[in-house]
Amino acid sequence: MKRYDENGWGILPAEDEIDRCNAEELGFARVVRENRGRYQLVVANQSGDSFIDAEVSGSFRYCVGVAADYPAVGDWVAVRTEDGSFAVIEWIARRSSCFSRKAAGVTTEEQVIAANIDVIFLVFAINGGRNFMASGLERYLTVAWDSGAQPVVVLNKADLCSDEEREAAVLTAESSAPGVDIRLVSAVSGEGLDELSVGAQSGLEAGMTIALAGPSGVGKSTLINALAGNDVQKTGAQRDADLRGRHTTTHRELFRLESGLLMIDSPGMRELQLWADSGSADDAFSEIAELAENCRFSDCSHQGEPGCAVQAALASGELEHRRYENYLELKRELEYLERKQSEKAVGKGEQRWKDVSKLIRNMHKEKR
């Protein structure tokens, strides 16, 4: 069961982590900003919130082997404060959830976007261009389901669309994200913003941490500004030629709004490279996973075996062919990623820890 900080800074670390911190005479703080290996932390107490700069200790650097084990925005960290204005990070508390992607480049490494989050707003602009496509939404959902947080699809810039375009966007989202809440909003006009703030209508509560993810130029920072009631983030315009966004946000940062919600903004993604368990594709394509339960063979690949319920649904028109093809493509990509991870882990003697990490993520998914 999640425990929340009484001062309003989100999900607390597990009790054994807090006990360890006390035993080592360290303080706990949450990472609210990360930029090129430098961090800003918030230390919450009854006398008020203190924001301090920090860096990891030398022993931390010595012990940590991969970039994903360094602090990320949303992490709770055990710190040693030196003069009240600067802190040294000694270790990171276990993450209750983690939204990650594969780091850019040819290496097989995880890049953590946000940690200890309750909800992920997957934000897309529906005013044309390539900022909203069914295949892109399915890709984001695959990673979001793996994080341990609850995804919500946010269709922004509704004020720039006709009624027909708005309806078409909602139908596309509903067919590509079955069972996921769809919110049609405009950060400019204010339409639908109540569904993104604290209240019974949204199901969101003060103290929850929400990460925003999506392509560049879809209005993530503008949404945060609208929900905050003031300009906490810089914003920019799309290119007129193709409506693609420019990178306005250059670092990840956590904001606490007056409503009590905590929101993590991050730079837009030109490309979301998958970092997830292969089973996460079944979460994103839940209707295919349900059909697969009726296949004759438990290890059916859904590509020609006799008695395949997925192929039968394709033939009858129950299952959309485009969605089926994207499912197979994402499954292949995830299976390739798992092979590369296993090869790398075995080579470094880290397979056991990889298995433990997968077990923890699956436990979080089962609790949802």
Tokens matching residue 242: 């193709």
Which residue's structure tokens are 């496509």? 133
User: To 5 degrees, how large is the angle CA 245–CA 248–CA 251?
Assistant: 125
Nearest to 319, CA basis, from 328, 166, 140: 328
What span, in angstroms and rounded, lies between the C-alpha atoms of 58 and 23? 21
Nearest to 256, CA basis, from 303, 297, 208, 216: 208
CATH number of this structure's domain 98-265: 3.40.50.300
Amino acid making up residue 255 = F
Q: Please give the CATH topology (third level) of the domain spanning 280-367.
A: Ribonucleotide Reductase Protein R1; domain 1 (1.10.40)
Tokens matching residue 339: 């092979």
What span, in angstroms and rounded, lies between the C-alpha atoms of 24 and 84? 18
Q: Is 19 exposed, middle or buried (0-12, 13-18, 19+ CB in 10 A)?
A: exposed
Residues in the chain, pLDDT under 50: 238-243, 245, 247
What span, in angstroms and rounded, lies between the C-alpha atoms of 138 and 196? 21
Residue 345: predicted pLDDT: 64
Residue 129: predicted pLDDT: 72
What span, in angstroms and rounded, lies between the C-alpha atoms of 313 and 315? 5
Three state DSSP letters for the chain? CCCECCCCCCECCCHHHHHHHHHCCCEEEEEEEEECCEEEEEEEECCEEEEEEEEECHHHHHHCCCHHHCCCCCCEEEEEECCCCEEEEEEECCCCCEEEEECCCCCCCEEEEEECCCEEEEEEECCCCCCCCHHHHHHHHHHHHHHCCEEEEEEECHHHCCHHHHHHHHHHHHHHCCCCEEEECCCCCCCCHHHHCEECCCCECCCCEEEEECCCCCCHHHHHHHHHCCCCCCCCCCCCCCCCCCCCCCCEEEEECCCCCEEEECCCCCCCCCCCCCCHHHHHCHHHHHHHCCCCCCCCCCCCCCCCHHHHHHHHCCCCHHHHHHHHHHHHHHHHHHHHHHHHHHHHCCHHHHHHHHHHHHHHHHHC
Phi, psi of 109 (to 5 degrees): -135, 150
| Domain 15-92 belongs in CATH node 2.40.50.140 | yes
Tokens matching residue 14: 């597990």
Residue 247: predicted pLDDT: 46
Spans of all domains in the chain: 15-92, 98-265, 280-367
Contact (CB, 8 A) for 118 and 11? yes
Q: How far is CA 290 from CA 238, 253, 301, 313, in A?
A: 40, 38, 14, 11
